[in-house]
Amino acid sequence: MKGETNNSNGWHPTPSESKPTLWVVSEIYYPEDISTGYYLTNIAEGLAQNYDVKVICGQPNYASRGIRAAKHEVRNGVDVFRVASTTLDKNKIPFRLLNMLTLSLSMLFFAVRRFRKNDRVLVVTAPPSLPFISALASLLKGASYTLLLHDCYPEVLIAVGKMKPNSFASRSVNFLNSWLYKHASKIIVVGRDMNELLRNKTNGLKIPIVFIPNWADLETIHPTPRSQNSLLSDLGIENKFIFMYAGNIGHPTDIESIIECADRLRAKEDFHFVFIGSGAKASYLRNEVERRKLKNVTILGQRPRNEQIVFLNACDVGLISLVKNMWGTAMPSRTYNILAAGKPILALTEDGSELARVIEEENVGWYTQPGDVDKLQAKVMEIYENRGLLGEMGKRARDAAIEKYSRESAIKRYSQELEPA
């Protein structure tokens, strides 16, 4: 993702007459390399060959918080515009809402000034206000917009207990979504369960909905020998059987079941659980480990993306965990990088979720229902007793990442789906 940068104070190229203009709208973009930033940066740069790609985004406020990026630069063929907004602590709800409000207003004013008739717009659902401001600007200026759904609202908020089903708030969100979907050129989803959920939500609107999965970072992640893993040696757990959770530790994560399982297995000295990441439930995780005095759990902070090859290979099994009622609402993108590292997956997810389907179709792991600690504990023991099978399962995981979840195949699909009907 390295490339020459031309800042707005110097020369920048004139858009090619033959290329249609595509605006990519996302709060998070390079230099942010967390999930959304990584994917949207790669999508924008991957489409630059066929489109005059322009990006509207905010200043870094996640893993790269504190970095002040250029307001305007050209990077790898993409014109990047970063608008002003507050960058307060996103883990505090009032500050997060203020960030979302100021960012949305800045993006709206910018988009209304810059969008042109027949421009194409690709907007991601993070934060959830961005699709609405992009839609409004597109309709005002005669552009067409495509929604990229990484999360489905209000379902995510209902699942994490922030909104009640059939409440006035949830009905209002669904009403606004109907307007949003009705005027969209297309909706792109990252899971087949999400596709099914959206088809029900848009019944009668005749909006094209297509499934394009996210991909594995095959350029930087591949299996490495366990015996050579520096993280394992640094932690002194080379001889343990390790389950690793690496990713956002947010509200949609069933961290409670994993901790309870670790507590029940504290007497089994062969097992060790490692957590890498940050998020809204990270403090709960630390407090519980300290309160329960769990010596079989190690918590590390967020690690840079370029260290994934080390920490994803520092385990026997990768953990992915979702709370109940997340079916159709999200697909953890870390799944694909665990596959790229050639690791089996143990997931807490519901039947028929995209995560469950990938695990079953590729025969690369196991899943249990969220909140069922008894089944989770039994599955952990079963995996350990059959650990001789992990090598073949890991090979299937790596093969699936290469054959089905590559960046090239995803970008090709995006290019095809953004063409006018």
- Same domain for 85 and 234? no
Cβ neighbors of 17 (< 8 A, separation 6 or more) are none
Statement: residue 21 has pLDDT above 60: yes
For residue 362, tell me if it sits in a domain.
Answer: yes
Phi and psi dihedrals of 317, rounded to 5?
A: -140, 135
For residue 220, tell me if it sits in a domain.
Answer: no
pTM comes to 0.91
Q: Which residue bears the tokens 């504290």?
A: 266
Q: How confident is the model at residue 91 (pLDDT cuts 50, 70, 90)?
A: low
Does a cis peptide bond (omega within 30 degrees of 0) precede residue 154?
yes
- Same domain for 387 and 260? yes
Q: Calculate what percentage of the chain has a pLDDT beyond 90.
A: 82
- Please name every residue paired with 74 in a beta bridge, in sequence order, or none if there are none: 6, 79
Statement: residue 234 has pLDDT above 90: yes
- Same domain for 239 and 111? no
Altogether, the residues listed in the chain come to a count of 421
- Taking only the tens place, the pLDDT of each residue in 305-345 is 899 999 999 999 999 999 999 999 999 999 999 999 999 99
Q: Other CB atoms closer than 10 Å to residue 373's CB: what's the count?
A: 18
Statement: residue 8 has pLDDT above 50: no
Which ranges constitute the DSSP H helices of 190-297? Answer: 192-201, 230-235, 255-264, 282-292
Confidence at residue 7, expressed as pLDDT on a 0 to 100 scale? 42
For residue 221, tell me if it sits in a domain.
Answer: no
Task: Report whether 26 contacts 36 (CB < 8 A).
Answer: yes
Number of domains in the chain: 2
- Same domain for 14 and 150? yes
- Same domain for 249 and 288? yes
Statement: residue 93 has pLDDT above 90: no
Q: Which residue bears the tokens 């999200």?
A: 330
- Same domain for 204 and 293? no
CA distance 145 to 124: 11
Task: Tell me the one-letter amino acid at 162.
Answer: K
For residue 164, tell me if it sits in a domain.
Answer: yes
Task: Report whether 27 contacts 125 (CB < 8 A).
Answer: no
- Same domain for 307 and 380? yes
Mean of the pLDDT values across residues 207-231? 96
Confidence at residue 12, expressed as pLDDT on a 0 to 100 scale? 40
Of residues 112, 140, 132, 133, the one with CA closest to residue 178: 132
CA distance 257 to 278: 18
Domain span including residue 124: 5-215+406-417
Classify each residue of 41-75 as buried b or exposed e, where b means 16 or more C-beta atoms within 10 Å of its C-beta: bbbbbbbbebbbbbbbbbbbbbbbeeeebeeebbb
- Same domain for 47 and 179? yes
Question: In the numeric block, which tokens belong to residue 264?
Answer: 């029940």
For residue 388, tell me if it sits in a domain.
Answer: yes
- Same domain for 270 and 210? no
For residue 166, tell me if it sits in a domain.
Answer: yes
Question: In the numeric block, which tokens belong to residue 266?
Answer: 């504290």
Roughly what angle, to the nearest 10 degrees, separates helices 407-417 and 35-47?
A: 60
